[in-house]
Amino acid sequence: MVRDLKKQAEDNSGYSAKNITVLEGLEAVRRRPGMYIGSTGPTGLHHLIWEVVDNAIDEAMAGFCDEVTITLLPDHKVEVRDNGRGIPVDIHPTQKISALEIVMTILHAGGKFGDGGYKISGGLHGVGASVVNALSTDAKAEVHREGQIWVQEYKIGKPQGKVKAIGKCKDTGTTITFRPDDSIFETIDFEWKIIVDHLRQYAYLSKGVKIILKDRRSAEEKTVDVTAIPYPDPTYQFFFEGGIASFVRYLNQHKEIKNENIFYVEKEAEDVKVELALQYSEDYSESLFAFTNNIHNPDGGTHVQGFRTALTRCLNTYARNKNFLKEKDANLTGEDVREGLNVVISIKLREPQFEGQTKSKLGNTEAKTAVETVMNEQFAIFLEENPKDGENIINKCLLASRARNAAKIARDAILRKGALEGFTLPGKLADCSSRDATISELYIVEGDSAGGSAKQGRDREFQAILPLRGKVLNVERARIDKILGNNELKSLIIAMGTNFGEQFDITKLRYHRIILMTDADVDGAHIRTLLLTFFYRHFPQLIAGGHVYIAQPPLFSVKVGKDIKYAFTEEERDVIISEITAKKADKADAKKKAEKVEKVETENANGEVDEASELEMLDIGGVKVNVQRYKGLGEMNPEQLWTTTMDPKNRIMKLVAVEDAEIANETFEILMGDEVEPRKKFIQTQAKNVKNLDI
């Protein structure tokens, strides 16, 4: 005991009050930017714009602003202007400095805490403008208020002088200009399409507010994106009088709809303003977007609970009153009435309570009561006033109910205990020996050939291999019973261990990394897209939890004698060739003496001959260089596959993430849905961006 106390004293001797660091002002933001904006990558960079725009939209929600202009300027600067009241500039009674300086330089300061500033706002923590200021090399605030133009400039969050009046004006409003700090962010290049898509959503949620986006950047700074309409037109305007009803119409533009009339309601209950729009389509999945004070809540919350309760009750009452459901029939379930549902819920309340800084889930109990009350009353009226729409909706729900009952038999037979017992795992799964899910990986591999290489090359301790034969089912338009009847998908579901549908349990996940490893050709890309559709539609929790990855096998091997290096792009291949032959020939000589390209036969791990490989034989200054283009994973021997694609020390993997559910949902519908025209247009638009296309 004495020795333990002595050791403890020695350990503590270097840790005292002098080791405690107190960060002054905005320094905490610069030290830990991820705590305030999520990341220092592209997502965090664009979050700076959203923080400033949020403040302008708060003015609009308060009824003092009807126009917001965002301008991308040269040298990576952004200007956000609103025609609201303007940030107050008078001297604060306790801080003894201008209120504008407080808002721009002090965390947790703003007009959203006490009374009289904002009844409703999206930013509640008072960190928006000050965080943007802290993470910018240069910033400027210009306020038009009370007939005067007030200005203050900042560098790395620090004022470069006091707030001062520089002239007269007749309008009101606030203009914030900032340049992100390139020493903090991975990139400070703003992407036009990301901004366009986000601002469109703002406009849908802010009925009657005009949002203008201008691009005044230099040609070098512009990231041209042909899918962003009408880029490269430098000005784009959003204005939706229909609000979220227009949003639902936009979401359904590529779908076959069931009710011609969109249900829309805007009403106040329990001091909560409820705005809601819904429309059914022929889809099998639900598309729901929930917002509180214009903040997206991807994990739902009490407002979503209230809506779902009321929706199920209303449709069951209507179905029984109109004799669609007989006395002996069971009620429609929540799952039945949500199939094919496309809904946007937007509520505004004074004191929202979110779970965490990310505001992903709402917790206010009054929100549930308000949405449930409004929905019960108004949706019942809608069904009575639109009997044709009501009949189509009920028939859609009844069809879903019958399919659910049929699928339940198949699901129970397949998954009742299969996901939990080792002996029921699919026979073609080469499982790993570890039972620690946190370190275990499941490689989903295309074909038996690549599967053979992967099984021989893997680390059996923590890497499992599941080869899939052929192209899996496109689940975008498939019901559950058909999905569970597909042998490849059934094997995958059982291997993952989470069960399926309502029985899904993420705590039973047997592998915390699920890695899609397909060939680098058109077929491989197609299979990968089919698998991503499967995960996005039926296992979104795995994507949200960061469990789904895409393996990146090399495209080329460059061999000189016994020395071999791997390249993942054509540019990387050229660099490797230049480095290897630098002593023998310059780049110009290398181009002159490239001799021939020929087909060679290689044997895969199963001993099968594969003629798809391309081998480029180069003679550069007397040095023989072999450049092989890999068409499939099966062309690599087990050692090569391990070294390049499966070894955690060397491999490159892409994490599958969904930053914008609306855009992802639309993309999957276009690529995997029944409608041909949208897919044709998408392909034509994106054709110029395709690299390494095998024709």
Give 69-120 as a DSSP string: EEEEETTTEEEEEE-SS----SBPTTT-SBHHHHHHHSTT-STTSSSSS-SS
Distance CA 213, CA 225 (A): 15
Residue 265 contacts by C-beta under 8 Å, 6 or more apart in sequence? Answer: 274, 275, 276, 277, 374, 375, 378, 379
Distance CA 485, CA 410 (A): 8
Q: Any catalytic annotation for residue 521?
A: yes
SS3 218: coil
* 513-517 vs 548-551, strand pairing mode: parallel
| In contact, 27 and 156? CB cutoff 8 Å | no
Q: Any catalytic annotation for residue 519?
A: yes
Look up tokens 């009620």; give the residue: 331
Distance CA 322, CA 318 (A): 6
Catalytic residue chosen out of the listed positions 519, 616, 662, 669: 519
Look up tokens 């992407």; give the residue: 191
Catalytic residue chosen out of the listed positions 446, 476, 488, 662: 446
Q: Is 663 exposed, middle or buried (0-12, 13-18, 19+ CB in 10 A)?
A: middle
Look up tokens 């076959």; give the residue: 256
Q: Which residues, in sequence order, are bridge partners of residue 140?
A: 153, 177
The sheet with strand 513-517 has its strands ordered as 463-468, 441-446, 513-517, 548-551, 653-655
User: What are the C-alpha distances in Å from 675 to residues 143, 253, 339, 678?
Assistant: 50, 11, 19, 6
Q: Is 464 exposed, middle or buried (0-12, 13-18, 19+ CB in 10 A)?
A: buried
SS3 648: coil
Q: Any catalytic annotation for residue 523?
A: yes
SS3 558: strand
Q: Any catalytic annotation for residue 372?
A: no
- Kindly compute the dihedral angle of the four CA atoms of residues 669, 670, 676, 681, in this order, to the nearest 10 degrees: 170
Catalytic residue chosen out of the listed positions 191, 377, 521, 614: 521
Catalytic residue chosen out of the listed positions 448, 523, 572, 660: 523
List residues with catalytic annotation: 446, 519, 521, 523
